[in-house]
Amino acid sequence: MELLFDIDNYEEKMSSDELTLKESDKKKIIEDVAISNVERVEYANIGCGADWIVILIGIVIIGYNVLKSGKSVNDGIDGWIEIGKKLKKLVKRNKVISVDSEGATLLAIESIAQLETINVIEVFQENTINLVDVSGFLYENKGLTAKPYNYFVKAIKVNNETIYIMGVNSTGEATIIKRYDVSYGAFYIEEIDDL
């Protein structure tokens, strides 16, 4: 998972005169993020035409590839919900500028978990609508730094009964677009209107 953080939240803690972070500054940022398995913390430029320096954080989410396999999963759900909660706190504190598709999925799962207990989950379809692409201006940028603004649409089946169509913007706002009851089988799908 990649996250972009606003450098303004950290300017008092570090010197932004050079584009390298001291180890002590990285430790402070990792403590503030409070999500384990941070693999990198570095400055990144996402400004086309003018510099816009942000902090890029790369986090390894254990077991995430299983979630992306398109199969029902019942292990690791509590951990993904917990990471989603931590990510949501960072979003509420206006620390996060942008999340990638993995972060969007975790935020969507966390939103669903507020409505019902998740025992089995399947992310069976997802699309990314790219809103800004700076890779043509900043050739060294890859991943989230090349395409920092997106809208993610996720189709998630929960407990083999309900399909949630979730929309998540890159700043971390998760919204339920539609919800369907599929508990009666493939040919009996009913839209749930109680949102």
* Per-residue pLDDT, 111: 97
Alpha-carbon distances of 25 from 43, 55, 98, rounded to whole Å: 11, 11, 21
Domain that holds residue 69: 2-191
The pLDDT-based confidence of 13 (bands split at 50, 70, 90) is very low
If you average pLDDT over every residue of the chain, what do you get?
86
Calculate Rg over the CA atoms of the chain: 18
Tens digit of pLDDT for each residue in 120-163? 999 999 999 999 888 877 778 888 988 999 999 999 999 999 99
Helix axis angle, 77-92 to 101-113, nearest 10°? 100
Pairing of β 174-181 and β 2-6: unpaired
β-strand partners of 42: 56
State residue 136 phi and psi, 5-degree precision: -70, -20
The pLDDT-based confidence of 61 (bands split at 50, 70, 90) is confident
β-strand partners of 152: 128, 168
The pLDDT-based confidence of 14 (bands split at 50, 70, 90) is very low
- In 3D space, the residue among 61, 96, 67 whose CA is nearest the CA of residue 170 turns out to be 96
Pairing of β 190-191 and β 38-45: unpaired
The pLDDT-based confidence of 189 (bands split at 50, 70, 90) is confident
- Coil, strand or helix at 114: coil
Q: Is pLDDT at 97 greater than 70 in this prediction?
A: yes
Total domains in the fold of the chain: 1
State residue 8 phi and psi, 5-degree precision: -60, -30
The pLDDT-based confidence of 49 (bands split at 50, 70, 90) is low
Place of tokens 């890779």: 135
* Per-residue pLDDT, 17: 53
Q: Is pLDDT at 110 greater than 50 in this prediction?
A: yes
